[in-house]
């Protein structure tokens, strides 16, 4: 790779051993990608240094602490180095448990103590403790064209597609290194050429509600895999939460890291502009049959109608989604045979507390949780066999991770399932 004088100096230790290790990893990574140089970034989102206890124990010979994990795992360094305070704008994405309801999530005292110790280290290193998969709802909104280094596939696709920020789907090691070096390989979505559409999806079935946006997203990822789709047709009522669901679904069924919607997303004023002069690859139709197939695929892991767990908040719910859930739950109770957990960020929870929706949610018997989700923390109510979700992404992941059944439907169907203990969802 071509390095600037500053970058060579960093690699050679001018800013200390941790920055040198970070540059070493970023150079190895850049060469693996085939990148020619780096871009400067001052907006980095990752999960720096956080680890379960067993990972620390694995590095016992190196001290078994945050410093050991950051050096050996995050920076992939053969030696342990002192990790300095990070001065760039860096934030910590989702974590392993709720800071208050961790017992309900089945976590041990020891795991909670480990979580607290990691969080103190994160904060002590100058990293913002956002603890969410939706940093853009919790204080980190990039601007158009800004070079970022973000993890979390649903946040990455949002950043590229909806905001026009520029990030690849980075990993834990590359983001931790970028927090120290403020560099990331100039490859992929950092370049204009890479951001052009590749395949066209002609949307014929009406896509308006958040449920329909999620279905279309899941279909889109299955159709184009990791390519960049251009969507055109019967898509309406765009809103932040719909993009959030669409992108998360497309990123989990395929590997979509950017999409264009003609007349909706900022780099796609028209279909032609979205392709940027490049040829359109495949054309896919999303009609009634594709819609039904996608719905059935998502629901193929559901058999029993007795739902003992409903999970909402993947990606983390926004304030308006919490308000909507509260409206649906007001005056109702979660069924004795079921559980309802709703996940959000600490920042949005604070808003929901001030606005009263948190209180309504709790009065119904539901739990409002932050920081994590069932898939990330592998935490479900004990004895869960059948779960229900309003998120295509969570339906994709959680049943596979936990070996349980899963249903996918609308938020209303999920709330009804939580309050009756029965799944009654159907494709309208």
Partner 1 sequence: MATVAIRAPDVLIRGRKVVGGVSEGEALVTRQTISGWGGVNPMKGEIIETRHELKGQSFAGKILVFPGAKGSSGWSAMFHTTRLTGQAPIGLLYNITTTKAALGAVVMRVPTLTDFDSDPLDQIETGDWVRIDADEGIVSVWKGGRP
Is 39 one of the binding residues for partner 1 (CB under 8 A)? no
Residue 358: CB minimum distance to partner 1, A: 28
For residue 229, how far is the Cα from the chain centroid? 19
Count of positions on this chain that bind partner 1 (CB under 8 A): 39
255 to 274: interface string for partner 1, x by CB under 8 A: x-------------------
Residue 184: CB minimum distance to partner 1, A: 9
* CA dihedral (358, 361, 362, 366) positive or negative: negative
Residue 24: CB minimum distance to partner 1, A: 11
Give the binding range for partner 1 (CB under 8 A) out of 3-11, 162-170, 259-267, 323-331.
Answer: 162-170
Closest CA to 202 of 116, 296, 280: 280
Closest CA to 314 of 287, 338, 342, 292: 342
Is 169 one of the binding residues for partner 1 (CB under 8 A)? yes
Tokens representing 12 are 């050679």
Is 170 one of the binding residues for partner 1 (CB under 8 A)? yes
Give the binding range for partner 1 (CB under 8 A) out of 165-173, 207-215, 302-310, 366-374.
Answer: 165-173
Q: How many CB atoms lie within 10 A of CB 287?
A: 14
Beta-strand relationship, 44-46 and 149-150? parallel
**Cβ nearer to partner 1, comparing 188 with 381:** 188
Among 1, 104, 172, 238, binds partner 1 (CB under 8 A): 172
Is 305 one of the binding residues for partner 1 (CB under 8 A)? no
**Cβ nearer to partner 1, comparing 72 with 291:** 72
**Cβ nearer to partner 1, comparing 49 with 233:** 49
Tokens representing 48 are 């720096």
Per CB under 8 A, contacts with partner 1 among 369-428 are: 375, 396-397, 399-401
Terminal alpha carbon distance of the chain: 54
In angstroms, the CA 149 to CA 324 distance is: 32
Answer whether 297's CB lies under 8 Å from 225's CB.
Answer: no
Among 16, 164, 171, 276, binds partner 1 (CB under 8 A): 171
Residue 398: CB minimum distance to partner 1, A: 8
**Cβ nearer to partner 1, comparing 151 with 418:** 151
Closest CA to 220 of 209, 241, 235: 235
Answer whether 231's CB lies under 8 Å from 260's CB.
Answer: yes
Strand order in the sheet with 340-344: 367-370, 340-344, 309-317, 386-389, 405-408
Is 60 one of the binding residues for partner 1 (CB under 8 A)? no
Q: Which 3 state secondary structure label does DSSP give 331?
A: coil
Give the binding range for partner 1 (CB under 8 A) out of 36-44, 168-176, 260-268, 321-329.
Answer: 168-176
Closest CA to 339 of 376, 386, 371: 386
Give the interface with partner 1 as residue ranges (CB under 8 A).
25, 28-29, 32-34, 47, 55, 58, 73, 76, 150-153, 156, 168-174, 187-188, 225-226, 251-252, 254-255, 300-301, 375, 396-397, 399-401
């Amino acid at each position: 790779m071509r390095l600037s004088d500053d970058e060579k100096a960093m690699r050679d230790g001018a800013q200390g051993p941790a920055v040198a290790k970070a540059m070493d990893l970023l150079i190895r990574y850049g060469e693996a990608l085939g990148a020619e140089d780096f871009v400067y970034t001052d907006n980095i989102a990752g999960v720096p240094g956080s680890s379960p206890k067993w990972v620390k124990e694995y590095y016992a010979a190196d001290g078994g602490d945050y410093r050991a994990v950051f050096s050996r795992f995050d920076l992939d360094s053969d030696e342990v180095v002192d990790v300095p305070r990070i001065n760039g704008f860096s934030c910590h994405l989702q974590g392993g448990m709720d800071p208050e309801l961790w017992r309900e999530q089945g976590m041990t005292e020891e795991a909670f103590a480990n979580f607290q110790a990691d969080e103190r280290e994160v904060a002590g290193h100058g990293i913002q403790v956002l603890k969410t998969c939706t940093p853009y709802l919790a204080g980190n909104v990039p601007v158009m064209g800004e070079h970022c280094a973000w993890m979390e596939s649903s946040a990455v696709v949002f950043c590229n597609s909806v905001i026009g920020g520029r990030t690849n789907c980075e990993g834990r090691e590359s983001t931790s290194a970028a927090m120290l070096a403020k560099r990331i390989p100039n490859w992929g979505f950092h370049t204009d050429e890479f951001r052009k559409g590749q395949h066209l999806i002609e949307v014929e079935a009406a896509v308006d509600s958040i449920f329909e946006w999620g279905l279309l997203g899941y279909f889109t990822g299955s159709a184009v895999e990791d390519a960049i789709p251009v969507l055109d047709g019967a898509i309406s009522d765009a809103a932040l939460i719909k993009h959030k669901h669409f992108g998360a679904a497309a990123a989990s069924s395929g590997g979509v890291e950017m999409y264009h919607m003609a007349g909706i997303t900022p780099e796609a004023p028209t279909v032609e502009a979205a392709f940027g002069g490049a040829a359109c690859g495949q054309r896919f139709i999303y009609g009634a049959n594709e819609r039904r197939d996608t719905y059935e695929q998502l629901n193929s892991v559901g058999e029993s109608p007795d739902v003992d767990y409903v999970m909402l908040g993947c990606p983390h719910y926004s304030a308006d989604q919490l308000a909507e859930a509260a409206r649906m739950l007001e005056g109702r109770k979660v069924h004795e045979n079921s559980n309802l957990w709703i996940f959000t960020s600490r920042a949005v929870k604070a808003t929901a507390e001030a606005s009263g929706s948190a209180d309504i949610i709790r009065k119904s018997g539901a739990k409002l949780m932050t920081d994590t989700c069932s898939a990330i923390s592998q935490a479900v109510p004990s004895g869960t066999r059948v779960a229900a979700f309003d998120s295509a992404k969570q339906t994709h992941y959680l049943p596979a991770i936990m070996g349980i059944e899963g249903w996918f439907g609308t938020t209303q169907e999920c709330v009804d399932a939580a309050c009756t203990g029965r799944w009654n969802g159907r494709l309208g």
